[in-house]
């Protein structure tokens, strides 16, 4: 495998569970040398073996008990060795462990020090514990995803964990570019809740199909239920944006938003050409009826037949895959996203390391020897 764009970059990883390890895994996929520092009991994320194996590939593991004074020489040597340090504890923990930003900066002024925490290093919630669900709830994601009865519902995908990891990768790259060849390092404060709030606010305010009804002088004739449905479903209130079952029981997705040419192509492919004259307001108003008509038509043939017709007509449609089926999609294979039994991070130049996730402390002796401490 050719060296990645970050070959030669030295990363010290004090993170556990998901956000931090995915950050440093991405850096490893880009060619960085990542040393994962684990406590004597190991990363608690090791209990979820498949996930741990996926996001800790290509790293070296060193066990240090940072609560013991005897670990101080190794800790200082590792910080001096590193270009980047990533930690994922609550504010104040790294200070108790003797490796907070002021201390690390004193040892290595060029260090890029990235702190990933739930709420960030400042603010009234900084010391509160939180996981992905808490951050989805606080940012409004569970409100956007609410059920038909109005009860909030979370995303299964841990969006706060993954989005904060990619935010951290971006921040580290920017800090390294700003540091250049002879500039100082800096402290990066990455809060897991920040990207989720940004995404949620942008979507909640930018796509609001209920706004015209809400501000109309004509009251909602359905007693507010229509407005509530638009407010909850957003794009899914459109009868041409959603998931549909075909005649063979398999599912496909149709993703038409405001493109009239796509709507006309769909109506033609379905044999429902008279509906092509409807504009977006008419389609939304009659959305439930049109969706049932589309669903009934799709039940008349199998998924492969419909996808062939839709591709020929230029309709944005795709099969609904399981996570395992997605790996065998021709587009995924053509882009080389699957390699070494893993999927590479969504950054150009990233490659899945050939090395498996390390055993706890597997490289302790090797790394300490490199640092002259053996």
SS3 27: helix
203 CA to centre of own chain: 16
CA distance 116 to 372: 30
Helical (H) or strand (E) element with 72: helix 72-81
* β partners of residue 113: 85, 187
Q: Is residue 161 among the annotated active site residues?
A: yes
Structural tokens at position 181: 């060849």
Query: Going by DSSP bridges, is the β-strand pair 33-38/251-255 parallel, antiparallel, or unpaired?
Result: unpaired
> Which residue carries 């199998």 as its tokens?
302
Query: Residue 102 has which token pair?
Result: 């002021």
Catalytic entry in 13, 132, 161, 231: 161
| Token pair belonging to 302 | 């199998």
Helices vs. strands in the chain: H and E counts, helices first: 18, 11
Residues with a known catalytic role:
161
């Amino acid at each position: 495998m050719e060296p990645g764009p970050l070959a030669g970059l030295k990363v010290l990883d004090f993170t556990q569970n998901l956000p931090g390890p995915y950050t440093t895994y991405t850096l490893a996929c880009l060619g960085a040398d990542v040393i994962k520092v684990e406590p004597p009991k190991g990363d608690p994320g090791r209990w979820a073996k498949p996930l741990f194996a996926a996001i800790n590939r290509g790293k070296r593991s060193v066990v240090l008990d940072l609560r013991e004074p005897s670990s101080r020489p190794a800790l200082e040597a590792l910080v001096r060795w590193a270009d980047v340090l990533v930690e994922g504890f609550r504010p104040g923990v790294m200070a108790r462990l003797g490796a907070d930003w002021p201390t690390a900066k004193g040892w290595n002024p060029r260090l890029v020090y990235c702190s990933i925490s739930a709420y960030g290093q400042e603010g009234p919630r900084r010391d509160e514990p939180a996981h992905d669900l808490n951050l989805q709830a606080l940012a409004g994601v569970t409100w956007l995803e609410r059920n038909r009865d109005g009860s909030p519902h979370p995303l299964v995908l841990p969006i706060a964990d993954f989005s904060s990891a990619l935010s951290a990768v971006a921040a580290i790259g920017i800090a390294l570019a700003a540091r250049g060849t002879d500039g100082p390092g800096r402290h990066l404060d990455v809060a897991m809740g920040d990207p989720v709030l940004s995404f949620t606010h942008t979507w909640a305010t930018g796509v609001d199909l209920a706004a015209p009804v809400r501000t109309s002088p004509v009251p909602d004739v359905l007693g507010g239920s229509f407005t509530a449905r638009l407010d909850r479903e957003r794009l899914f209130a459109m009868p041409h944006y959603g998931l549909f079952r075909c005649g063979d029981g398999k599912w496909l997705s149709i993703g038409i938003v405001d493109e009239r040419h796509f709507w006309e192509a769909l109506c033609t492919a379905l044999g429902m050409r008279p509906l092509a004259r409807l504009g977006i307001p008419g389609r939304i108003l009659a959305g439930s009826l049109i969706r049932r008509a589309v669903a009934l038509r799709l039940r008349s043939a199998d998924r492969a037949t419909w996808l062939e017709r839709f591709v020929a007509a230029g309709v944005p449609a795709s099969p609904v895959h399981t996570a395992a089926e997605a790996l065998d999609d021709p587009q995924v294979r053509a882009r080389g996203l699957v390699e070494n039994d893993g999927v590479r991070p969504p950054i150009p130049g990233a490659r899945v390391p050939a090395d498996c996730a390390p055993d706890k402390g597997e490289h302790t002796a090797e790394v300490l020897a490199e640092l002259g401490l053996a």
